[in-house]
Copies of this chain bind each other. A is one copy, B any other.
Amino acid sequence: MNEFCHTGEDTRSEIDLLEDIGLDESVETAIPTLGAAKVPSPLIQTEQGHFVSDDNRVLVNVSHRCFEAALKAGRTPPSFELAGPRRHIYFDPTKLRCAIVTAGGLCPGINDVIRAIVLALYHGYGVRSTFGIRYGLRGFIPEYGLPVMELTPERVERIHEYGGTILGSSRGHQPIEGIVDALERMHIGVLFLIGGDGTFRAGAKVVEEIQRRQLKISVVAIPKTIDNDIYLVFKTFGFDTAVQMACEAIRSAHTEAVGAPNGIGLVKLMGRHSGFIAATATNALREVNFCLIPEADFVLEGEGGLLQAVEQRIRQRGHAVVVVAEGAGQRYVRGDKEERDASGNIKLGDIGVFLRDRFRAHFAEVGLEVNLRYIDPSYIIRSVPANVDDSLYCANLGQNAVHAAMAGKTGLMVSHWNGRYVHVPIKEAIKRRKRINLNSRFWMSVLESTGQFNLAVHPAETP
């Protein structure tokens, strides 16, 4: 295992370099394979060729300081395998059968990824049988009686123009054995897993079960989360589109706030554990006055508390825009016993409705007429088609997933890191959650943009 770069005394500057990722641990980078890749790739090549070899690696950390530290210590700093087509592949394309499954919540771009996988398999490698599993992992389990969907180039031709997933999705655990049984029964050689944290945990167990049974099935994951909170990915697909939609909601809140005497525009955005959507939209628009995220949990009452701060802003400026990520302020809305959803996620209390009511009560109490408009764009943000940027990103993720799978690699997640597509072991990706580093310049930008330097925050809880 490689030690990740630790340079000693001045950790602050490391933090600066790694800001919005929060990377501060050692990282394992070796990718498992099903066996030697001996089949010549059928990909058409230009004269000079453009194949990638496993020796092409991308440094995990681009800090020069890391390089120097490693140089001194004689250590090799960690690097990820570069994604891309290999000169030799593991599977015989003419006999290969593939499956694609989408699990968890919706996110712009899922159909783009499905389409890219199908087209790359079909046109690039000549794979003729690709199946879509319906409604997430439950699609593998016979009890649900869900037929598979055959995925041909014709079927996926225009699906990238729609939001959602043509396969359907679901949350919730399914028996690992049942999933692998289904893969065996269907003679699947490659499973493409488009999902988030929970799905990846199931995926890691599927890989283990496959290994236990000594099957030759590759599992390649593509990280999907509207919250952008998967570790070891710079930015997840659909995030750009989500921020764009969030900006529209905030712009409306701002318009409403300035359009009424003492107007308050309150917007709730997605972000269960990580406030990337709220913070990024705040930075993009620069018209938010309070940005509340799970990583920096706000104090509601008293000196420096949110109520006081909003009141002060209203008295001074006549309007205020407040953005809250759904996972923020949970201490105020969590009931006594924790409820969990089908995926095992704790059910969040509704902080948006809570703040709306609490604001109204507070201003009634202090006798200040305010006009509060509450906006909860919710599913609108995640159900739209991907914008051009995300489309392109999804197409690249899908293609690289196919290249990795054809080369016989498994247990990996296709990721974008330091501007390159790379392979990251699924096991590493689920070790922790990506969250906003409160010491990063990214978060500092939010503070500068909102001016909320004096807003009191609770000491961090561990997620």
Residues of A within 8 A of B (CB): 12-13, 15-17, 43-44, 46, 48-50, 52-53, 55-59, 62-65, 67-68, 70-71, 76-77, 79, 82, 84-85, 106, 119, 123-124, 135, 138, 158, 161-165, 168-170, 234, 240, 243-244, 247-249, 251-253, 255-256, 258-261, 265, 280, 283-284, 286, 371, 373-380, 383-384, 387-389, 391-392, 395-396, 399, 418-420, 438-441, 444-445, 447-448, 453
How far is the CB of A322 from the nearest CB of chain B, in Å? 14
Q: Which of B85, B162, B380 contacts A249 (CB 8 A)?
A: B380
CA distance A52 to B283 in the complex (A): 20
Q: Which of B53, B106, B391 contacts A259 (CB 8 A)?
A: B106
Q: Which chain B positions have C-beta within 8 A of A68?
A: 76
Secondary structure type dominating chain A contacts:
mixed
Q: Which chain B positions have C-beta within 8 A of A59?
A: 59, 62-64, 67
Q: Which chain B positions have C-beta within 8 A of A15?
A: 48
A-B contact pairs, 9 of them (CB 8 A): A46-B439, A67-B67, A67-B79, A158-B158, A163-B251, A253-B379, A377-B380, A399-B445, A419-B419
Contact call B261/A52, Cβ cutoff below 8 A: no
Given contacts A13-B55, A234-B419, contact A284 B62 (CB under 8 A): no
Q: Which chain B positions have C-beta within 8 A of A261?
A: 135, 138, 168, 170
Given contacts A65-B55, A383-B252, contact A392 B284 (CB under 8 A): yes
Contact call B378/A375, Cβ cutoff below 8 A: yes
Copies in the complex: 4
CA distance A252 to B385 in the complex (A): 9
Contact call A453/B44, Cβ cutoff below 8 A: yes
Contact call A255/B162, Cβ cutoff below 8 A: yes
CA distance A383 to B247 in the complex (A): 13
Q: Which chain B positions have C-beta within 8 A of A253?
A: 379, 383
Q: Which chain B positions have C-beta within 8 A of A48?
A: 12, 15, 438-439
Contact call B251/A383, Cβ cutoff below 8 A: yes
CA distance A123 to B451 in the complex (A): 10
Contact call A163/B252, Cβ cutoff below 8 A: yes
Given contacts A16-B50, A59-B64, A168-B261, contact A376 B379 (CB under 8 A): no
Given contacts A79-B64, A164-B259, A379-B253, contact A52 B13 (CB under 8 A): yes
Contact call B395/A286, Cβ cutoff below 8 A: yes
Contact call A16/B82, Cβ cutoff below 8 A: yes
Q: Which chain B positions have C-beta within 8 A of A252?
A: 163, 379-380, 383-384
Q: Which chain B positions have C-beta within 8 A of A13?
A: 52-53, 55-56
Given contacts A82-B16, A244-B388, contact A418 B63 (CB under 8 A): no
CA distance A447 to B395 in the complex (A): 14
Q: Nearest CB to that of A167 among chain B residues?
A: B259
Given contacts A251-B163, A379-B373, contact A283 B168 (CB under 8 A): no
